[in-house]
């Protein structure tokens, strides 16, 4: 689990004021970190193009150009010139070792984007949009300095962005690199240290990036146990019963000792193909956790008051986010698992504002924080290309899933995995974090077009075994 931040200027300032380091020293470390990645991946005497901006991000690029001269054929481009004091100083140093600034873009083996780093708050002008588009069309290893040009502090494209294979981010991870919009542009993210240990550079944070090594699976260590030692999950099956069956099956395959599906009223299951190991019930009793909302429709509206009286942890999903009764569950031990459209409805019902799905996607971090500030005891998991888990004003970002999971029923499996851990008496936050990781990693074993919900379930036995 890695800490991440909205911005890191405060940490750079700490280096200047407390550790007596200079801007120059930090810049040399930043550039050398990028150089190391090039030395690892690009044979010497290859052509390296560096496109540098006018400020200190550009200065990092110019410093890199100076370091590489002699080992590589370096072409430096500065479409906006050199404006900051450090950029002008680094340009003088670069020229002193024989470097020059090019005007005509040439073919290359490696391309470095050092135009704009973190802190972008406006759209790129037409000239830079044209430059970025040309860079994206070059066939080369592409490296971004700090953050790909065109990605703003919220992780949105303004309006285009450099498409990197590798992003060397300076000092600490920035959450902008983990937005849904940024996922196709950042490539592999590598953190560069800037002259002091990372432990000395940072201080307390409230954003965390989940890594596959963080995964804890529900491995059974005691031998003297029985099926009820591992919980009894109830799953409400509604108008679209396949959703509930997927959740129940996932839960049973992820360690839960007993799983029952429950019907109600017009939602009859006589002809439903329920796996043999899953039980049927018509009573809200004997459960250690409950999962509902997926495919539910209006089947359980008349018993929502009975459900809210239950003193057990719950996973709430899908259709429940369109019902005003959802507010009754927000002082309970719950994990909410909406997708962006459902989250927009939840925000409206809870009085936190009216947002379109597009606005939710552009403001994922801000809005999940906003929800968590009002409901700090609720665990919220906002689904997306990178899942966000919010609890007690802290955000945990799971970037380990990929496009393979974009299939109908994938979210039902996620709800079942988390619910299984709740039934096994895991804390809701722990259940959400490790359930999310298991779900993400279970999608890695198939071609990304071929994954199905049942394959995710089958792959659960493989996660954490590598």
Concatenating the DSSP letter of every residue in 283-316 gives S--S-SEEEE-TT-TTTTGGGHHHHHT--S-EEE
Residue 270: which pLDDT band, with cuts at 50, 70 and 90? low
For the ranges 249-253, 278-282, 436-440, 461-465, the lowest mean pLDDT is seen at 461-465
* Residue 337, pLDDT above cutoff 70: yes
| Torsion, Cα of 463, 279, 268, 301 (10° steps) | -70
Residue 267: which pLDDT band, with cuts at 50, 70 and 90? low
Section 341-364 average pLDDT: 98
| pTM for the whole structure | 0.94
Q: Which residues pair with 208 in a beta bridge?
A: 3, 396
- With 0-12 / 13-18 / 19 or more C-beta atoms within 10 angstroms meaning exposed / middle / buried, residue 303 is middle
> How far apart are alpha carbons 447 and 185 in whole angstroms?
21
Token pair listed for 113: 């984007």
Section 86-104 average pLDDT: 96
Own/partner pairs, 165-168, CB within 8 angstroms, 24+ separation: 165/141, 166/37, 166/141, 166/142, 166/190, 167/143, 168/30, 168/33, 168/34, 168/37, 168/143, 168/144, 168/192
Q: Which residues pair with 395 in a beta bridge?
A: 207, 390
> How far apart are alpha carbons 258 and 262 in whole angstroms?
13
Residue 167: which pLDDT band, with cuts at 50, 70 and 90? very high
Residue 206: which pLDDT band, with cuts at 50, 70 and 90? confident
pLDDT score recorded for residue 197: 87
> How far apart are alpha carbons 204 and 5 in whole angstroms?
10
pLDDT score recorded for residue 10: 84
Residue 405: which pLDDT band, with cuts at 50, 70 and 90? very high
Q: Which residues contact 130 (CB under 8 A, 6 or more apart)?
A: none
pLDDT score recorded for residue 265: 57
- With 0-12 / 13-18 / 19 or more C-beta atoms within 10 angstroms meaning exposed / middle / buried, residue 370 is middle
Strands (E), 17-91: 47-52, 73-77
Section 307-311 average pLDDT: 95
Section 432-444 average pLDDT: 97
Q: What is the pLDDT of residues 272-301, one digit of tens each?
A: 778 899 999 988 989 999 999 999 999 899
Instruction: Kindly report the average pLDDT of the chain as a whole number.
Output: 94
Q: What is the pLDDT of residues 20-70, one digit of tens each?
A: 999 999 999 999 999 999 999 999 999 999 999 999 999 999 999 999 999
Section 311-329 average pLDDT: 97
Phi and psi, residue 345, nearest 5°: -65, -40
- With 0-12 / 13-18 / 19 or more C-beta atoms within 10 angstroms meaning exposed / middle / buried, residue 228 is exposed
| Torsion, Cα of 266, 270, 275, 281 (10° steps) | 60
> How far apart are alpha carbons 245 and 243 in whole angstroms?
5
Find the helix or strand (DSSP H, E) in which 387 lies. Answer: strand 387-391
- 1 three-class SS: coil
* Residue 268, pLDDT above cutoff 80: no
> How far apart are alpha carbons 211 and 397 in whole angstroms?
9
Percent of the chain with pLDDT over 90: 84
Section 74-81 average pLDDT: 97
Section 116-127 average pLDDT: 93
* Residue 450, pLDDT above cutoff 80: yes
Q: What is the pLDDT of residues 209-218, one digit of tens each?
A: 999 999 999 9
Q: What is the pLDDT of residues 129-148, one digit of tens each?
A: 999 999 999 999 999 999 99
Most confident of 12-16, 61-65, 199-203, 280-284: 61-65
User: Who wins on pLDDT, 205 or 434?
Assistant: 434
Token pair listed for 189: 């993210």
pLDDT score recorded for residue 201: 84
> How far apart are alpha carbons 95 and 104 in whole angstroms?
18
pLDDT score recorded for residue 466: 58
* Residue 165, pLDDT above cutoff 90: yes
Complete domains list, the chain, with CATH: 2-206 (3.40.50.10260), 213-459 (3.40.1190.20)
DSSP-assigned letter for residue 162: -
Cβ atoms of 390 and 364 within 8 Å: the answer is no
- With 0-12 / 13-18 / 19 or more C-beta atoms within 10 angstroms meaning exposed / middle / buried, residue 302 is exposed
> How far apart are alpha carbons 161 and 124 in whole angstroms?
9
């Amino acid at each position: 689990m890695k800490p991440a931040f909205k911005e890191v200027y405060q940490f750079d300032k700490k280096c200047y004021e407390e550790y007596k380091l200079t801007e120059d020293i930090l810049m040399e470390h930043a550039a050398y970190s990028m150089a190391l990645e090039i030395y690892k991946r690009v044979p010497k005497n290859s052509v390296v193009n560096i496109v540098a901006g006018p400020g200190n991000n550009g200065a990092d690029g110019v410093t890199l150009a100076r370091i590489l001269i002699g080992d590589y054929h370096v072409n430096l481009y500065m479409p906006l010139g050199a404006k900051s004091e450090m950029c002008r100083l680094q340009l003088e140093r670069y020229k002193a070792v024989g470097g020059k600034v090019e005007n005509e873009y040439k073919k290359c083996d490696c391309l470095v984007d050092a135009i704009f780093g973190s802190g972008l708050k406006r759209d790129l002008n037409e000239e830079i949009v044209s430059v970025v588009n040309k860079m994206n069309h070059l066939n080369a290893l592409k490296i971004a300095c700090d953050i790909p040009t065109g990605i703003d502090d919220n992780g949105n494209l303004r309006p285009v962005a450099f498409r990197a294979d590798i992003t060397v981010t300076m000092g600490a991870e920035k959450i902008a690199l983990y937005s849904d919009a940024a996922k196709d542009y950042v490539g592999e993210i590598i953190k560069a240290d800037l002259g002091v240990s990372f432990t000395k550079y940072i201080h307390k944070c409230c954003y965390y990036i989940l890594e596959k090594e963080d995964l804890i699976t529900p491995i059974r260590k005691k031998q003297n146990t029985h099926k009820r030692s591992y919980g009894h999950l109830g799953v409400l099956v509604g108008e679209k019963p396949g959703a509930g069956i997927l959740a129940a099956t996932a839960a049973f395959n992820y360690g839960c000792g007993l799983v029952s599906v429950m019907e109600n009223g017009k939602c009859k299951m006589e002809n439903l193909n329920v796996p043999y190991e899953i039980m049927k019930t018509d009573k809200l009793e004997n459960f250690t956790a409950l999962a509902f909302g997926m495919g539910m429709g209006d089947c359980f509206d008349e018993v929502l008051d009975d459900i809210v009286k239950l003193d057990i942890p719950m996973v709430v999903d899908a259709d429940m986010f369109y019902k005003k009764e959802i507010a009754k569950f927000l002082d309970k031990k719950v994990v909410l698992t909406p997708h962006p459209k459902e989250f927009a409805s939840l925000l409206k019902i809870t009085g936190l504002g009216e947002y379109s799905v597009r606005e939710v996607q552009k403001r994922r971090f801000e809005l999940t924080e906003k929800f968590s500030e009002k409901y700090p005891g609720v665990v919220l998991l906002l689904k997306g290309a990178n899942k966000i888990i919010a609890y007690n004003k802290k955000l945990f970002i799971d970037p380990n899933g990929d496009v393979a999971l974009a299939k109908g029923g994938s979210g039902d499996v996620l709800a079942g995995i988390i619910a299984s851990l709740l039934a096994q008496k895991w804390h809701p936050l722990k259940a959400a974090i490790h359930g999310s990781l298991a779900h993400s990693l279970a999608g890695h074993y198939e071609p990304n077009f071929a994954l199905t919900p049942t394959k995710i379930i089958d792959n659960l036995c493989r996660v954490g075994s590598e």
